[in-house]
Amino acid sequence: MTESGAKLFARLDGHKSVHDIEPRLFPQNTQSGPGALVELYGMEGTGKTELLYHFLCRAILPDDAGGLQLDVLFIDTDYSLDMLRLVSILDARLAGAAGSSSSPRQQEARVRACISRLLVAHCSSSWQLLVTLHTLEARLASQPSLALVLLDSASAFYWPDRGGGGASVAKQEENLSKCSQLLAALLRDYQISIFASCHANRRHCSHASSSSHSHLCRPWQQLITHRLLCSRQEVALTEGSEERPKGHIFSVHCTSTSSGSKAYRNGSFRVGDGGLEFV
C-alpha cells in the first residue's frame, strides 16, 4: 500500500497522543504508544471488557471531555459489545465535562460525534479474524486517524481451533499465528496501538495469578509489550457509619517490557454508571 506525504504525517502525528490513553495504569515512561500491544488477561468477570470500554471512550471522546479524539476499530469476536453501556459511559463523561451548559439536543449530538469515530467488526471464527486483519492495511492507509485497534477477545477461538486442528499443535495454532504475523507487520509499518483481552484458560487456572503465563501461541506472546493482569475481590462498601452491601474492587497488575527491561505498576478501580472509578 502507498500513501501520500500528507497522510503519512497526519497518521504519525495522530498516534502521538495514544501515549496518554491512561497514565494511571502503565508504569512511568512505558506508556502504550505507537507499536504497543497491550493484553488484558484474567478470568471471566475481572473487568477486562470494562477496561476496554474505558480505553475506547478515552480514545473517541473529544479533547474538552478528557479524550483523545481518535478513530478506533473494535473487533468483536465474543459478540458482547454492549452499545447501550458504551453510550451510557460516553453520556456521563460528556455531561460531566459540559456541566449544565449543554442542552439535551447538544448532548445527543456530541455522543453521536463520538460514536462516528468508532468502527465495529464482528468475527465468528479465526478465519474471519484473519480476513479482517488482511483488509485492515487498506483501512489504515486511507484513514490516518485510525490509531487504535481493540480486540475482544484474542482467545475467543482457542478451543474451536484446538478441536479443528486435530492432533497437530501447528494446525491448532495456524490461524492465530498468521493473525499474529499480520498484527506484527501492522504494528511496525503503521505504528498503531492494539489492546486485546484474553480469557484465562481454566485448565491452567492455578497459574492465573502469574503475569508470565499465557496459553496462546508463541507468535502472539512475542507481540505483547504490556500485560494487564486483572483480578476481582469483594469488599464491604461503607458510607458514613452505615455499611452497604458488598461491592467489587478490580485490581490490575501491569507488566511492561516496552523499554527493554520489565517495569511494573498496580492499579484498582470500581465500575460505576459512568465507567471506571479509580481508587
Q: Could you tell me if 19 and 244 are in contact, meaning their C-beta atoms sit under 8 angstroms apart?
A: no
Low-confidence ranges of the chain (pLDDT < 50): 6, 14-16, 205-212
pLDDT of residue 38: 96
pLDDT of residue 241: 54
Amino acid at 106: Q
CA distance 178 to 166: 18
Q: Could you tell me if 112 and 87 are in contact, meaning their C-beta atoms sit under 8 angstroms apart?
A: no
Closest CA to 36 of 279, 180, 226: 226
CA distance 172 to 183: 19
pLDDT of residue 30: 76
CA distance 217 to 134: 19
Under DSSP, is residue 235 helix (H, G, I), strand (E, B) or coil?
A: strand
Widest Cα–Cα separation across the chain: 64
Under DSSP, is residue 26 helix (H, G, I), strand (E, B) or coil?
A: coil
pLDDT of residue 201: 79
How many CA within 13 A on the CB side of residue 86? 22
pLDDT of residue 260: 76
**If residue 59 lies in a helix (H) or strand (E), which one and from where to where?**
helix 48-60
